Amino acid sequence: MRALANFTTAEIERAKRYASAIPPADLDPRIGALVNELIGRVADKWTMMILETLAEQGELRFTRLSEFVKGISQKMLTQTLRNMERDGLVICTVHPVVPPKVEYRLTGLGLRLGSAFCGVWVWAAENLDHVEKARQLFDGKAKAGS
């Protein structure tokens, strides 16, 4: 890890804690593969946004949910919700009334995933301008190089 020489000590500490939290999965390579499969499933744009909305709002009906998650089509909302339900992240309660009323909320598992993702959200919020500057710099260089 000599490559990390020019990071701050705080950053290195975080990296170490990061690395040390992973090993258990590496004992059996199949486990690692399964974890990656699971990550791939869950690290989906819509999954993350639905997860975030439900974690913030608590419990929502289908249409209400679609209003919070801007830009999602009803097809993707349904599809993603079904997958999340299958994975045990979400519970769907159907009230037998007309017009139908269906409410979605996170399970304990889903809630824990939500708080696990929290760090990513905070990172995004904190480093938004940082990323934008990096992009402008990169695009500027690319143009100059052509």
Partner DNA sequence: CGGGATCCTACGGGATACTG
Partner DNA sequence: CAGTATCCCGTAGGATCCCG
Binding part of the chain for DNA, among 15-23, 97-105, 120-128, 130-138 by CB under 7 A, reads: 97-105
Q: How far is the CB of 2 from a second copy (least distance, A)?
A: 7
The SS3 call for residue 102 is: strand
Q: How far from 41 is each of 13, 75, 87, 101, 111, CA to CA, in Å?
A: 29, 17, 9, 28, 16
Instruction: Identify whether the C-beta of residue 84 lies closer than 8 Å to the C-beta of residue 110.
Output: yes
* DSSP secondary structure letters along 112-128: HHHHHHHHHHHHHHHTH
Task: Give residues 15-34 in contact with a second copy (rule: CB under 8 A).
Answer: 15, 17-19, 21-22, 24-25, 31, 33-34
DSSP 98: S
For DNA, which residue of 35, 41, 49, 61 counts as binding (CB under 7 A)?
A: 61
Residue of 114, 70, 71 whose CA lies nearest to 90? 114
62 binds DNA (CB under 7 A): yes
Site string for a second copy, 36-75 (x = CB under 8 A): x-xxx-xxxx--xx--x--xx-xx----------x-----
Please count the residues of this chain forming the interface with DNA, following the rule CB under 7 A: 21
The SS3 call for residue 17 is: helix
Q: Which residues bind a second copy (CB under 8 A)?
A: 1-4, 7-8, 11, 14-15, 17-19, 21-22, 24-25, 31, 33-36, 38-40, 42-45, 48-49, 52, 55-56, 58-59, 70, 85-88, 105, 108-109, 111-125, 127-128, 130-131, 133-135, 137-139
